């Protein structure tokens, strides 16, 4: 880096952290259909508007010790973490590629990936406000990179970055839409939503057609590998939880409050955790399982089956319980395991529905940074335009 660029790095971090603060607003509001412009940021507990001096990225959270100044309600550490992460993304891009359109392209794609991964994990939503806006910005950045040689080459300059960016967006959207259409035709169910189509089009504007193929491959492989690790960790955690719950009825209730529910021998819910309470139609503590609504019914049925098996000293486990309401606003895929413990039947629940958009987001950042050498190694750069888009 040039000396003057090194001196600018604190300002680059500050700019990235400010954008990270806006990313938090997008993650919190866009899944709810709320505006990211108004009203001003406010405490989720007392709804007091946050003053400008309490809204400085990272620092304000640290100074306030993670609590609202007005009501002392805890503020999630997610906010400073995302602010610091986006700031670090901008600094890393500047260090690796200098301060210019290449670094801005990488940092912008990575920031969009952070937002989309968060919204897809929390609400299974890939907001158009992010995918489509960043798609347009990606095309504009590609055109900016071509403007440097426009005077010498004329309109032909735009074949270096802008045209491959357009081709990458179109190619990515076509491939993912085609896969979804084929799945729907064969299986009669939705395979890929339009959110995924728009997201891969956005990615294609930054990585080109060759990068799109690498991104889809990397996302698929990563999804396969990552799906196995959480299952292993979950089983180890559950074994420890059941071992502790067998100590006493009090400990069993504590484990149920953390990650599931405890059902008595009479079929009544003795203790319920947030994973059970968030399900629409789930009976509260003290009530029997039997009146569970249609969304909660698969878990209730699992618990009844587990109760019968527990009488014979057997544990019961199921890897995927799909829960969804009629409107589609609530969707969960849960893994469940149940064993007899002092006081009743302990049912542990864990989410396993990691959407594909999360893997696309992670893969896009990796491909943008290292996809160029990979395309060179595979010798497909000449077959798929867009190698010039990648560092």
Q: Write the DSSP string, 260-312.
A: EEEE-TTSBEEEE-HHHHTSTT---TTSBSTT--TTTHHHHHHHHHHHHHHTT
- 389 within domain boundaries: no
More confident residue, 379 or 376: 376
53 to 57, 69, 340: CA distances (angstroms): 10, 11, 53
- The pLDDT-based confidence of 230 (bands split at 50, 70, 90) is confident
In CATH, what number is assigned to the domain containing residue 306?
Answer: 3.30.450
- 201 within domain boundaries: no
- 277 within domain boundaries: yes
- 83 within domain boundaries: no
Task: Tell me what pLDDT residue 329 has.
Answer: 67
The gap between the terminal CA atoms of the chain, to the nearest Å, is 15
Inform me whether the pLDDT recorded for 198 exceeds 80.
yes
- Asked whether the bond before 39 is cis by omega within 30 degrees of 0, the reply is yes
Task: Tell me what pLDDT residue 125 has.
Answer: 87
Least confident piece of the model among 40-44, 164-168, 254-258, 325-329: 325-329
Could you tell me which of 162, 135, 67, 121 has the C-alpha nearest to residue 333? 121
Task: Tell me what pLDDT residue 158 has.
Answer: 80
This prediction has a pTM of 0.75
317 to 128, 138, 314, 335: CA distances (angstroms): 38, 46, 10, 8
| Spacing of C-alpha 159 from chain mean position | 34
**What are the structure tokens assigned to 102, written together?**
């290449």
Task: Tell me what pLDDT residue 183 has.
Answer: 66
Average pLDDT over residues 192-211: 91
Cβ contact 260:273 at 8 Å: yes
Find the domain containing 311 and state its range. 231-351
- Residue-averaged pLDDT of the chain: 87
Task: Tell me what pLDDT residue 71 has.
Answer: 84
Sequence-separated (6 or more) residues with CB below 8 Å from residue 2: 98
Tell me 330's DSSP state. Answer: -
Inform me whether the pLDDT recorded for 253 exceeds 90.
yes
- The pLDDT-based confidence of 185 (bands split at 50, 70, 90) is confident
Cβ contact 110:89 at 8 Å: yes
Question: Per this entry, what is the length of the chain?
Answer: 391
Q: For the chain, where are the E strands, in sequence order?
A: 260-263, 269-272, 316-324, 331-341, 344-351
Could you tell me which of 195, 192, 197, 196 has the C-alpha nearest to residue 180? 192
- 344 within domain boundaries: yes
Task: Tell me what pLDDT residue 381 has.
Answer: 57
How does pLDDT run across 285-299, given as a tens digit for each residue? 999 998 899 999 999
- 39 within domain boundaries: no
164 to 111, 144, 372, 385: CA distances (angstroms): 22, 13, 14, 6
List phi, psi (to 5°) of 72: 65, 20
257-258-259 Cα angle (round to 5): 100
Task: Tell me what pLDDT residue 336 has.
Answer: 93
- 213 within domain boundaries: no
- 296 within domain boundaries: yes
Could you tell me which of 113, 17, 121 has the C-alpha nearest to residue 61? 17
More confident residue, 32 or 95: 95
Task: Tell me what pLDDT residue 226 has.
Answer: 67
Average pLDDT over residues 344-373: 89
Give the chain's domain count: 1
- The pLDDT-based confidence of 190 (bands split at 50, 70, 90) is low
Task: Tell me what pLDDT residue 231 has.
Answer: 77
Average pLDDT over residues 316-342: 84
Query: What percentage of the chain exceeds 70 in pLDDT?
Result: 94
Inform me whether the pLDDT recorded for 333 exceeds 60.
yes
Inform me whether the pLDDT recorded for 383 exceeds 90.
no
List phi, psi (to 5°) of 345: -110, 120
Task: Tell me what pLDDT residue 26 has.
Answer: 93
Inform me whether the pLDDT recorded for 61 exceeds 60.
yes
Average pLDDT over residues 26-35: 87
State how far the Cα of 48 lies from the Cα of 52, in Å rounded to an integer: 12
Helices 101-123 and 128-147, axial angle in degrees (round to 10): 170
**What are the structure tokens assigned to 325, written together?**
């309401």
Task: Tell me what pLDDT residue 53 has.
Answer: 80
- The pLDDT-based confidence of 228 (bands split at 50, 70, 90) is low
Task: Tell me what pLDDT residue 261 has.
Answer: 94
How does pLDDT run across 91-126, given as a tens digit for each residue? 999 999 999 999 999 999 999 999 999 998 877 789
């Amino acid at each position: 880096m040039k000396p003057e660029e090194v001196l600018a790095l604190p300002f680059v971090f500050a700019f990235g952290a400010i954008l990270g603060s806006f990313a938090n607003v997008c993650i919190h509001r866009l899944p709810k259909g709320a505006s990211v412009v108004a009203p001003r940021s406010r405490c989720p507990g007392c709804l007091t508007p946050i003053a400008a001096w309490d809204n400085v990225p990272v620092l304000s959270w640290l100074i306030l010790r993670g609590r609202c100044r007005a009501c002392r309600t805890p503020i999630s550490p997610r906010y400073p973490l995302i602010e610091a992460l986006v700031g670090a993304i901008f600094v890393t891009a500047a260090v690796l590629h200098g301060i210019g359109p290449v670094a801005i392209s990488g940092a912008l794609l990575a920031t969009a990936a952070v937002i989309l991964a968060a919204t897809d994990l929390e609400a299974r939503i890939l907001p158009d406000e992010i995918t489509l806006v960043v798609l347009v910005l990606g095309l504009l950045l590609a055109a900016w990179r071509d403007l440097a040689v426009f005077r010498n080459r004329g309109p032909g300059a735009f074949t270096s970055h802008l045209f491959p960016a357009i081709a990458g967006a179109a190619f990515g959207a076509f491939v993912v839409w085609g896969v979804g259409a084929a799945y729907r035709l064969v299986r009669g169910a939705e395979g890929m939503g339009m959110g995924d189509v728009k997201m891969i089009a956005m990615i294609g504007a930054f990585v080109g057609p060759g990068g799109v193929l690498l991104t889809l491959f990397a996302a698929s492989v990563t999804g396969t590998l990552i799906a196995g690790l959480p299952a292993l960790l979950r089983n180890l955690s559950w074994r420890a939880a059941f071992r502790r719950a067998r100590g006493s009825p009090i400990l069993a209730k504590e484990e149920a409050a953390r990650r599931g529910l405890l059902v008595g021998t009479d079929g009544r819910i003795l203790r319920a955790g947030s994973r059970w309470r968030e399900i629409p139609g789930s009976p509260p503590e003290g009530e029997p399982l039997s009146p569970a609504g249609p969304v909660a019914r698969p878990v209730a049925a699992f618990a009844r089956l587990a109760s019968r098996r527990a009488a014979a000293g057997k544990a019961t486990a199921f890897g995927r319980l799909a829960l969804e309401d009629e409107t589609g606003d609530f969707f969960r895929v849960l893994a469940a395991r149940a064993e007899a413990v002092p006081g009743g039947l302990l049912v542990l629940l864990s989410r396993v529905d990691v959407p594909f958009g999360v893997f696309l987001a992670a893969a896009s950042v990796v491909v943008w940074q290292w996809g160029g050498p990979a395309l060179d190694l595979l010798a497909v750069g000449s077959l798929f335009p867009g190698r010039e888009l990648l560092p």
